[in-house]
Amino acid sequence: MAKVAIVNVTSYMGAEVARLLCCHPHVQIVSVTGRSEAGKKLGEVLPHLAQIDLTIGIDPGEADVLFFSLPHKASAEAIVPLVGKGIRVIDLSADFRLKEPTEYQRWYDFTHPAPGLLRSAVYGLTELHRSQIKGSSLVANPGCYPTSAILALAPAVKERLIRPQIIVDSKSGVSGAGRTLSLQTHYAEVNESVSAYALEGHRHLPEMVQELGALQSSGQLSVTFLPHLVPMTRGILSTCYAELAAGKLPEGQRGIAELRQIYLDFYKGEPFVKVVGLSPQTKHTLGTNLCLIHPTIDLRTNRLVVISCLDNLVKGGAGQAIQNMNLMLGFPETLGLESLALYP
């Protein structure tokens, strides 16, 4: 049994890691931390996790794998002293996702405490970095929006099917904002309303540019990303648009069929990315580690349209983290993650 500790289990993401690991056949959760609730039984603070008989502490202690769900900057400060001690770390914050240190000052308003680690940390989008994750001791779990957008666009970018101007329009449930109270996520503010936010630029944008840009050897992508908040608890639906490059696909329905085959080939054998024939809905992925992708072409405008959806707390966070943990520990990648979606 691998021993696992969860740092900041009282966050939505930390609690979701605990929920998913509870039934993992080869893992034992040995400690959970949460400073504001230290000393209390986990089930007192999070009743749905009452069967995990642990007391919330401050120090994670010794474990084979540490899941960090701390806020940005605090996560890096806590992780840096652990590097080099043989402990495998999966960070669910953004603190090790970006390779360029100056991007942290620009997007997260702090100076990174260990810029040298950014190159050695592996960006944990499993479908693109599987071999690196297997041998890594520090995995930077991707953001929820980038997971949906990068998986939606990776085949088209890799095969140079599109011109470099990309638009990503995403809708997310309220849990993506975390458990910290704010006026913007109060029930009365969110219910029966849809709103766009971060029009000046969202923190997840540089992840999209970094990872999609790495899929092509030349040229620079221009990505416009606009997120929206919708009145639901979980789920992300991203609609991605880009003009098709000339001569890459046949015209008409043949082009749509060839595009779909390119996506099917790209994700062949992937357990958690499914190319589907109809436009997916967020409820189709509720509670699962799946990302559903529907690629098509707007024949009137010669524009690629790709729709993707996932559960922002599972494939967009905790589930992907466990998928990465399975790889790091040599377990089957799907272990503990094969549940079906909740419906209705």
Nearest C-alpha neighbor of 91 from the set 77, 76, 103, 112: 76
Nearest C-alpha neighbor of 110 from the set 122, 100, 101, 119: 101
Q: Active site residue: 23, 144, 291, 309, which one?
A: 144
Catalytic annotation present for 22: no
Structure tokens at 300: 């009137």
DSSP string, 220-236: --EEEEEEEE-SSSS-E
Number of Cβ within a 10 Å radius of residue 104:
25
Reduce the DSSP state of residue 284 to 3 states and report it.
helix
DSSP element (H, E) containing 66: strand 65-68
Number of Cβ within a 10 Å radius of residue 132:
14
Pairing of strands 303-310, 236-244: antiparallel
Q: Which residue do the tokens 């520090």 mark?
A: 138
Provide the H-helix boundaries in 46-200.
Answer: 74-79, 102-108, 117-120, 126-134, 144-158, 187-190
CA distance 22 to 269: 27
C-alpha distances in angstroms, 256 versus 49, 154, 248, 250?
46, 17, 12, 8
What does the radius of gyration of the chain's CA atoms come to, in whole angstroms? 20
Number of Cβ within a 10 Å radius of residue 283:
16
Catalytic residues: 144
